[in-house]
Structure 1
Amino acid sequence: MTRSDSAGYDYDVVIGGAGLAGSAAAILLARRGVRVALLERRSNPEAYKVLCTHSLTANAYPVLDELGLVPAIEKAGAVRNEARWHTRWGWIEPRAAPTGPGLPYAYNIRRSTLDPMIRSHAAETPGVDLLIGHQVTGLVRRAGRTVGVRAATPQGEREIRARLVVGADGKDSAVAKFAGVPARTHQNARFGYFAHFRDLPLHGGISHVWFLEPDMAYAFPNDDGVTVVAVLPDKKRLPAFRADLEGSFLDFFRALPDAPPIDFAERVTKITGTVDHPLHSRKPTAPGVAFIGDAALTGDPLWGVGCGWALQSAQWLTEAIAPAATGRGDLDRSLTVYARRHRRRLSGHQYLAADFAKARPFNPMERLMFSAAARDASMARHMHLFASRLIGPLRFLNPAALAKASAVNLRHRGAAGRSGPAA
């Protein structure tokens, strides 16, 4: 039900897109007293994102906990996302220190399970109006700033006014288009195909990632015994790959080092993918507008970080703007705080991802860190923190870590030299 306040707003915040980012933001804002209209263009409340890694990196766990979703996610059969990574130096297998805490984790869970869960949770949150079948068709502007949206609905066109409009509508954000906020694009020199398999045996029952330089692949176990398998080869291989998609997909996976026996698993989805998946980033705010999730930044799918960043950006926006969204503060200043935090936390990660998306071999710094992580338990844990996006590039490549990696590799070379040619 639409409600108006003395300033003529129907809501404090209107959010375009009821996926992970939009639903999380709606829940967190409403809990802080913000009146939220959550718009979803699809008419089916069970709708979900299909092309996804289906992985929530460990940086997302605090947000899931705040949302209160952890018990439901575990009950649904989500798999804690421990992982091992194959490199030319062997497997990197992070494990908790013998006397230390367990490794941070979040979950692998299919979006067909997760999206309806979080959307339903948003709909049940007091202060949130979930408006299914509402597609943003334009923005309402006043004195140079956005003050609402126009939306096509099952009942016809309507206008919804709010202090803030949030674009949570993906990389091709309609909100961004109507606000005139362009995306910066980094080309991706890999293509990707995904399929789901049931009962695929995985060593240790955990996620596997293969760094083949430049090709990539991974297998992520999910709920209901389903494993998401992805292959991400160099685009130079695309013409031959497309000539026999199913055969190429299976042959690629079979040829992986220590490949799980995919021929003994049941494929339960068709092979889907994208031949062109550039990395996008936008300025996170404009007057009266904010962007979260893929609408603000779209990463490379090979890293599996999009879901985690969607949830984190929803939390960062909430923490920055909640009081101002209800009229108790300077909204523009609050948006500046959010934009600064978003850039500080994610721009370094995106820079490295865009560089690696050129489908090149490891550079000298990567060779140093990955080889050390394959040879030393503490370096493997350090790699886990970075891959989970719990630390940024500066901490990952801090002087102490570089010195430790160098010492590990020097010891390895020394031991190899002493053991003779057979090493």
Structure 2
Amino acid sequence: MTEPESAGYDYDVVISGAGLAGSAAAILLARRGARVALLERRSDPGAYKVLCTHSLHAGAYPVLDELGLIPALEKAGAVRNEARWYTRWGWIEPRAAPKGPELPYAYNIRRSTLDPLIRSRAAETPGVDLLLGHRVTGLLGGAGRASGVCVSTPRGERQIRARLVVGADGKESAVAKFAGVPARSYENARFGYLAHFRGLPLPGGIGHTWFLEPDMAYAFPNDDGVTVIAVLPDKKRLPAFREDLEGSFLACVRALPDAPPIDSAERITKFIGVLDHPLLTREPTAPGVALIGDAALTGDPLWGVGCGWALQSAQWLARAVASTAAGRGDLDRSLAAYARTHRRRLSGYQYLAADFARARPFNPLERLMFSAAARDESMARHMHLFASRLIGPLRFLNPVALVKASAVNLGHRVATAVPTRTRSRVERRTGGGAVWRRRGRPSAPRA
């Protein structure tokens, strides 16, 4: 639907929520010629999201680059998020191929650093008005179409008219609620607690994730020498865990394979918990409305994808609707294009995440891929691309990758079976008193 320039709008776009998704969308839309009101219910420009993995996956790097944030992130001490993952088959440790390019990366950075940084960039962008202390209380419009918002401000109630209303206001999105966009909810059978520690070195200085089937844990190094550690056990363990929160948390970390030395570290935050975190999926658009970030899709925090998807969905929206939001073209058609992109890029990931959120052991396909990645460098790199959200589920599980994984595991079984057969023959000849060699050195039999 094309609107005349004289339609009487205060802005082309009004965005509810000045976190990662909202601030990124405001910058990208304004650079493309839209007039943007960026609303933030909190009055503090330094406000930030507390409960977060504090990780930006490599799939979001192009958005950070377009926003011009890479130099500022590096200056702020953001840590490139290389990682290794523990499985029952050992560690998956992605490394660049010999003579190949370095592995793709983005950053780990605390939201207390990142949120004020991107919000200030939005406020400095020509065409963006950052309005702090503005909370959306309703939508304007008729005939089932939004044409602005009602807001509560420190100076009282006001109305802001706009062609497009964007909900960047999180999983409990007020914009989605007022627009009548329902959420499909998937149960998460894990709970989680995290805390920040100083003086906690990690091997290689890189992130660690533990797949303990069904429990999970991760440790991510961040800016200013701070490491974020989270444990995500099965909800069946919650009653006992809460009886002694600190003791249970520390016991979980101490029990991890190659556990970080948590007892020698300084905890600098309280334990932050989420006891019930369902995965939510909403239609990303309604007439006159677009949803981005957690408002459109709330993933499982164990995967550390929320920050990256917030930035990516902001970019997809800006590319789709910037000109039509400014009155040049069919806005509904542009919103439909954004919705298609959002579903195509994220629905497959969400399907897999919702299935894994049932706190179950690995299924046969997961066993195939994870075990092969722990045994083969090329499969580890393939896993890295998927974990970085640079390839989707279909490319991750493509026939060539499945055949490769099967060949790796078959070769491993053959290789490990040979010493067993050799040992049996020697034991028959020596009566079990054979001298074994490991890594080329003799190992004397015990007395």
TM-score range, shorter chain: over 0.9
**Whole-angstrom CA distance in 2 between matches of 1:419 and 1:147:** 73
3-state DSSP class of the match of 2:176?
helix
3-state DSSP class of the match of 1:142?
coil
Partner of 2:370: 370
2:418 is the counterpart of 1:415: no
The alpha carbon displacement at 1:5 in A equals 5.4
CA deviation digits over 1:315-362, x for unaligned, max 9?
Answer: 000000011011111000000000000000000000000000000000
The alpha carbon displacement at 1:143 in A equals 2.9
Q: How does 1:156-235 map to 2 (within 5 A)?
A: 156-235=156-235
Partner of 2:69: 69
Partner of 1:335: 335
2:153 is the counterpart of 1:150: no
**Farther off after superposition, 143-152 or 214-223:** 143-152
**Whole-angstrom CA distance in 2 between matches of 1:142 and 1:104:** 47
**Whole-angstrom CA distance in 2 between matches of 1:100 and 1:329:** 45
The alpha carbon displacement at 1:199 in A equals 1.3
Partner of 1:272: 272
Q: How does 1:4-403 map to 2 (within 5 A)?
A: 6-403=6-403
CA deviation digits over 1:275-296, x for unaligned, max 9?
Answer: 1000001000000000000000
CA RMSD of aligned residues (A): 1.0
TM-score normalized by the length of structure 1 = 0.98
**Whole-angstrom CA distance in 2 between matches of 1:144 and 1:384:** 44
**Whole-angstrom CA distance in 2 between matches of 1:247 and 1:265:** 15
The alpha carbon displacement at 1:420 in A equals 1.3
3-state DSSP class of the match of 2:146?
strand
The alpha carbon displacement at 1:155 in A equals 1.0
TM-score normalized by the length of structure 2 = 0.93
Q: Which residue identity is paired with 1:112? A: S
**Whole-angstrom CA distance in 1 between matches of 2:51 and 2:339:** 27
Partner of 2:433: none
CA deviation digits over 1:386-420, x for unaligned, max 9?
Answer: 00001000000000000000000000000000121
3-state DSSP class of the match of 2:277?
coil
Unaligned stretches of 5+ in structure 2? 424-437, 439-447
**Whole-angstrom CA distance in 2 between matches of 1:343 and 1:6:** 34
Partner of 2:426: none
Percent identity (aligned): 82
**Farther off after superposition, 5-14 or 31-40:** 5-14
The alpha carbon displacement at 1:201 in A equals 1.2
**Whole-angstrom CA distance in 2 between matches of 1:25 and 1:321:** 11
**Whole-angstrom CA distance in 2 between matches of 1:375 and 1:207:** 20
Name the count of aligned residue pairs.
420
**Whole-angstrom CA distance in 2 between matches of 1:174 and 1:383:** 37
Contact 2:5 2:327 in 1 (8 A): no
**Whole-angstrom CA distance in 2 between matches of 1:99 and 1:200:** 33
Q: Which residue identity is paired with 1:251? A: A
**Whole-angstrom CA distance in 1 between matches of 2:33 and 2:319:** 12
Q: Which residue identity is paired with 1:131? A: L
3-state DSSP class of the match of 1:37?
strand
